[in-house]
Structure 1
């Protein structure tokens, strides 16, 4: 998953929580994200563009730090 913006992401379907780590090192958990949105991100050619269009400003989030991994 090469991206110039997103280093990695992981999804907990039970919690509907999407954890996103950006290339800057910042790490956030997005809440109540439907599985279809995550599947769209997995298949998107541009993860950063998809994130900005479908996730950013659409879901509540919590900043995480390294100890929350």
Structure 2
């Protein structure tokens, strides 16, 4: 599990074998799993200046939860 310094996302975890991104939000908790997420998206989320904005534009609506 990777803890983030974000007002929107508390922590994330990535299962490379299953291509599953698990997210814990600061407000609604979690875990919430997103499937078939490429590792590049996980890396992008970790590197983003705003994890919440990256998640909203690259992951939330793009991958099944």
Asked if Structure 1 and Structure 2 have the same fold, meaning a TM-score greater than 0.5 normalized by the shorter chain, the answer is yes
Give the 4+ runs in structure 1 shifted more than 2 A. none
Larger Rg: 1
CA RMSD, 1 decimal: 0.7
Query: Could you tell me which of 52, 57, 60 is aligned with 1:56?
Result: 60
What is the number of residues matched between the two proteins? 61
- Where does the alignment leave 5 or more consecutive residues of structure 2 unmatched? none
Match of 2:47 in 1: 43
Q: Helix, strand or coil for the counterpart of 2:52?
A: helix
> Normalised by the size of structure 1, how large is the TM-score?
0.84
> Normalised by the size of structure 2, how large is the TM-score?
0.89
- Where does the alignment leave 5 or more consecutive residues of structure 1 unmatched? 62-69
